[in-house]
């Protein structure tokens, strides 16, 4: 998977912001970033992933391209791309002579995926604390503020989309293209499960509070603190998904 070069500024380091510049509870900039745009294939991927994670589409169920295209009133092209992305995430298997069928990662597999995600995200946050430019820090603050407003509005779909921008900003701020690539590739595999947990009662506010600790550490230039806060955040995401999975 290639990384969007627009998200990866030129390599370089900025001086860490001294401790005390920002403290918990301080309101951040209110400027709203550009709307998140997703393709029709991505919309279909989200919809089908939701049905799989919820159990509406059960393991072993066939996913016929023509049937799905008719159901969602689209051509087969975005359906084919959505199924390809779901195969990458592990939610769908492509079987010879049978086509695409619903899969389900084992508990051990899913745990391993989240463990890898936790460490990769922590590494990105650690580097971002040291390397983010002033402009990148302001962008992160802006996205974080929009998530605060969305958490109070109770909009899990929009929160998820802007949350993607939040994490992308941290990967970009790490200024390491290779680590950004493998972190993004891993996130694609766990994305349906990360997205599902936003439906838990009170989860949006909790997620924003977890982000707040990450942002504060990054703005202070605290590498260890940023890594610890991000690792804790992803571990809680996994826990929240397990709670969601039991409820559906």
The DSSP secondary structure of 154-194, one letter per residue, reads: T-HHHHHHHHHHHHHHHHHHTT-HHHHHHHHHHHHHHHHHH
Query: What number is the average pLDDT over the span 28-33?
Result: 43
Cα dist from 241 to 19, 106, 244, whole Å? 34, 14, 5
Q: CA–CA separation, 133 vs 135, rounded Å?
A: 5
DSSP string, 120-135: HHHHHHHHHHHH--HH
Give the 3-state secondary structure of residue 244.
helix
- 225 near 129, Cβ under 8 Å? yes
Mean pLDDT of the chain: 85
- 161 near 209, Cβ under 8 Å? no
Residue 185, number of CB atoms within 10 A of its CB: 14
pTM, full prediction: 0.73
CA R_g for the chain? 19
- Percent of the residues in the chain that have a pLDDT greater than 70, as a whole number: 85
Query: What number is the average pLDDT over the span 98-108?
Result: 84
Lowest-pLDDT choice from 24-38, 75-89, 216-230? 24-38
Query: What number is the average pLDDT over the span 104-131?
Result: 93
pLDDT tier, 36 (very low <50, low <70, confident <90, very high otherwise): low
Give the 3-state secondary structure of residue 97.
coil
DSSP string, 41-71: HHHHHHHHHHHHHHTSS-TT-EE-HHHHHHH
The pLDDT assigned to 195 comes to 87
The pLDDT assigned to 110 comes to 87
The pLDDT assigned to 67 comes to 94
pLDDT tier, 90 (very low <50, low <70, confident <90, very high otherwise): confident
Query: What number is the average pLDDT over the span 87-92?
Result: 84
């Amino acid at each position: 998977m290639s990384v969007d070069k627009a998200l990866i500024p030129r390599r370089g380091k900025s001086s860490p912001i001294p401790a005390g510049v920002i403290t918990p509870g301080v309101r951040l900039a209110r400027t709203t970033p550009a709307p998140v745009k997703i393709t029709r294939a991505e919309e279909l991927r989200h919809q089908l992933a939701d049905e799989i994670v919820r159990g509406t589409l059960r393991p072993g169920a066939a996913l016929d391209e023509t049937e799905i295209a008719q159901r969602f009133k689209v051509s087969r092209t975005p359906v084919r791309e959505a199924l390809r992305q779901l195969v990458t995430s592990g939610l769908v298997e492509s079987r010879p002579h049978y086509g695409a069928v619903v899969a389900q990662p084992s508990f051990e597999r899913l745990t391993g995926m989240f463990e890898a995600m936790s460490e990769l995200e922590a590494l990105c946050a650690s580097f971002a604390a040291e390397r983010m430019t002033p402009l990148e820090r302001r962008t992160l603050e802006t996205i974080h503020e929009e998530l605060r407003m969305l958490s109070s509005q109770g909009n899990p779909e929009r929160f998820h989309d802007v949350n993607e921008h939040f994490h992308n900003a941290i990967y970009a701020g790490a200024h390491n293209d290779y680590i950004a690539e493998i972190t993004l590739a891993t996130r694609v595999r766990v994305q349906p499960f990360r997205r599902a947990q936003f439906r838990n009662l009170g989860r949006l506010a909790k997620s924003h509070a977890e982000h707040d600790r990450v942002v504060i550490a990054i703005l202070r230039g605290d590498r260890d603190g940023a890594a610890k806060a991000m690792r804790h955040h992803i571990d809680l995401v996994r826990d929240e998904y397990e709670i969601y999975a039991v409820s559906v």
